[in-house]
Chains A and B, each alone.
Chain A
């Protein structure tokens, strides 16, 4: 083996307390169909085998804005542990295995401990890899906590072929959003001093025209917002648009946090949350894609003019 590229074993462990009964928490992890509702980067799950104790499946996740499919094998011990390994591990490692352990702290609180054990191909990458994997694991635990505590959390991104500043201003310019995003029926700007913005937007969703007031703020590289009166079916609704330089363009990330209003929904709260989250996530991706299209056409137009 080449000198300086020795492999190294690594182990990380993270814990979280979730305010939900152990059976619900265990099931949220065990049932792979939940994953695309709990995590925004899970695009699809294809089950090869699942007898509820043993599972083999392909999970397609978005990594660096590209789909990546990973095969996972899991051993489930009901209400105790779910152990996993990836027979075709990620390129940086020789092996990747781990487990989730579930412990009932009380009838309504569950402790989840997640462990990952890996053999990294290059010892020199250990610090960076461990840090990245720890962040990823912490984030996954937090997202499952939200899912089990019935809080909707979404985070989706797209690359837009224009400078960060130009895209930021375009997202801030709410009066002209209709040029990019067609479901907007009308916008009335109530206040705008270029740092704080209050507007009322009429927007079509599922065949119904919703009138929603939003308060937005510029904060460095992001636009944050809240809805003083949450949209229909929701109790709380807030979010942000985050802008980051990426080559000659920008990556725009849309985040959302929301809770369903039990008094406005007829179905089971968890079911309603899953549906709402999935639909909102799809809608956010459509909005982001429409900005991508807008800038691609704009760029194409300029190129055509030159030629």
Chain B
């Protein structure tokens, strides 16, 4: 589901803020939920879900949180206190640090391959045409081993016309690849994201695919005349969800084959 109005850094982090984050990463809780609930025992979150929670907090509040910031034994009250401390520290730059994106989504998958193989597979554009059937053509415009610019011709359905998109990426911290589309599809104003890889063990990697976007309100009305603004936003979110899921599943098939 698309995120609703974003909480800015100046807003105090409350129980309601925490609930919203849980909703965004689809963690269920019932009416008895309160600040004394622990992450592990009461909310029954596993380590992967804790990573997702951390990522969601980072994205939503544009913070950089240390690994282990949230522990299984932490209760909600402790997390709220920690978050308010971090937000207070970053308050000076709050205007700059608020995320410019109205919508974000994170999709993850666990793939049986090493973190270096995983990063290499996503970064090395040379292998994409061979490995990914829906990629019809890759034209590398620039690559200095840290930054890339390329055209990618994609055809997801044989009955539909192939789409050519320009993408810009950079490799950061060895296991993160940021990307943005300088000329996004007509229904989007901005589109960016990030691939992050976390090693579970030598043969298993957690892949986190983040998408961030703003819709183009002017073209939305023309492209989806029969849908309300909210419905059009949901449609875009669903399409990006399908795209992300298909992409992650395909990489799993390719790398585990």
Contact = CB atoms under 8 A, between A and B. Distances in A.
Contacts of B190: 49, 51
A95 interface: yes
A174 to B, nearest CB: 49
A172 B183 CA distance: 53
Interface residues of A, number: 22
Interface stretch (B92-100, B127-135, B217-225): B92-100
B227 interface: no
B144 A51 contact: no
Given A75-B170, A83-B170, A52 B100 contact: yes
Contacts of B100: 51-53
Contact of B180 (A49, A78, A83, A95): A49
Contact of B92 (A23, A56, A83): A23
Q: What band does the interface of chain B fall in when counting residues whose beta carbon is under 8 Å from A? A: 20 to 34
A159 interface: no
Interface string A78-92: 110001010110000
B178 to A, nearest CB: 7
B170 A51 contact: no
Contacts of A178: none
A161 B222 CA distance: 57
Nearest to B98: A78
A235 interface: no
A23 B147 contact: no
B62 A78 contact: yes
Nearest to A56: B182
A179 B189 CA distance: 54
Contacts of B146: 85, 97
A51 B142 CA distance: 22
A53 B170 contact: no
B141 A87 contact: yes
Interface in B109-146: 141-142, 144, 146
B198 interface: no
Nearest to A57: B182
A87 B95 contact: no
A56 B144 contact: no
For the complex of A and B, list the 8 residue pairs with the smallest distance between their C-beta atoms, beginning with the closest. A51-B190, A49-B182, A78-B96, A87-B142, A54-B180, A95-B144, A85-B147, A52-B100
7 contacts: A49-B183, A51-B101, A53-B192, A73-B149, A73-B168, A79-B96, A85-B146
